[in-house]
Structure 1
Amino acid sequence: MAMKVKEVADLVGISVRTLHHYDEMGLLTPDETTESGYRLYSQDNLDTLQQILFFKELGFPLKQIKDIISNPSFNRQEALELHRQMLLDKRRRLDQMIDTVDATIQHHKGEITMTNKEKFAGFDFSQNPYEEEARERWGNQKVEQSQAKLKNKSQEEQTKMMNEMNVIYTRLAELRHGSPASEEAQAAIQAWYDYLNNNFSNYSLEVFKNLGQMYVDDERFTKNIDKFGEGLAVFMRDAMNIFANQQNK
């Protein structure tokens, strides 16, 4: 049975404003909207919302969650199993933090003496390991496939492909100060789309768009792409997004 936005908000314990925001950013769009403008959420929508909240609990930014769950290779059952493992890991770290807090209280009371190392047990400010795991499963799959195919080609073939890629990137770099929606920019990004599909794998428009977002989200991509011209990664992201949306019309 479909549920209205207020009913979903009350069921989950989040605000109506939050659900509206998810809808506006394309993260969670209800399957149905009545003639009166009421959002109606299906059971599938609720299952997706659960996935979103699991990822959010584990520290993923909303933009990254959107990229993950919109990826064609995303598998809900696999994600649930990953969520469980991640939450168990998080619980172990929280238990360690609680032990550190308890020990620190005893230390301040003079009941025990703590070393400086013990005072910081449980703290971890490294990159979110859950995000890295998710990117490996659902965000970087096409990139890994492409790299594997490239290694299987001869040196001559690789050189030819690199030269073709450099020509495309150089052309895009020349256009990066203009509009990514211009005919010239879209023709150049079409060449990039064709290049990827002809040489590596079948890139759907959605995956192509997600790849463009990765150019900006992953600093390794940004650094390499921007060698052709500062701001090129962002320009390509925008041009790829426009291309994919136009082709879907």
Structure 2
Amino acid sequence: MTDTTGVLTVLTVGQVAEQFGVTVRTLHHYDEIGLLSPSERSGAGYRLYTEADIVRLQNVVVYRRLGFSLEEITALLDDATGGSLAEHLRRQRAAVMSRLEEMNDLVTAIDRALEKEMSGVDLTREEQRELFGDGFGDEYAAEAQERWGDTDAWRQSRERSARYTKEDWARIKEETDAVNAEFVAAMQAGLPPTSTEAMDAAEHARLQIHERFYDLTPEFHRCLADMYVADPRFTKTYEDVAPGLAQYVRDAIHANADRQADRA
């Protein structure tokens, strides 16, 4: 390395340690094992690092961050076929990409384990899909956590569902199917969403959530109903049961919320 006048300069061990965030003791150890020996010495015998030494240290730091052992790093840097900076950079890039793939796989595994721990649902993936079909997806749980994770409703739902067994979830699925069947029967009979039958089905849907998961007022239920038509994924859940059901359920829930407000 050179200073502003173009004169070759060297760095002391303390200066190198400060610049690269390593300890003096570490640099001494690198010298002792032959990984990084300073090329020059001062008149008093102190270690002095040249530009070439600094480049080598830069490579050492990168490889250490990638998890290579000191022995592996020594072999890499002393390889006569890979001594150029460009070659080291290519190696380092390849190593980083390999570790990124490993880290991504590890993060995915951790996320799955964490989700299972947090969900409180003691079901395997296969069991979840067996009960709830392909509409059950990891993205829904992740989005729900992001959207409502700080709400009392979310915490209450987690606390309740943590106690549910596979048999409990099977009964909840049966209840949901029964409520949907009420909506379908009313719709296919030509009854408007404001009919008693449709509003009763909406109230049964509200009570199921209220009793099984979290306290759900008619007004809160009205907000949920809007998502059934605003979010294509929720819409599809109902449309797979019967065409037009999503809008019908939404309107019936609104009508029931109005009915409950009139009774208050």
TM over 0.5: no
| TM-score of the two chains, using structure 2 as the length reference | 0.40
Q: Which has the higher contact order (CA 8 A, sep 6+)?
A: 1
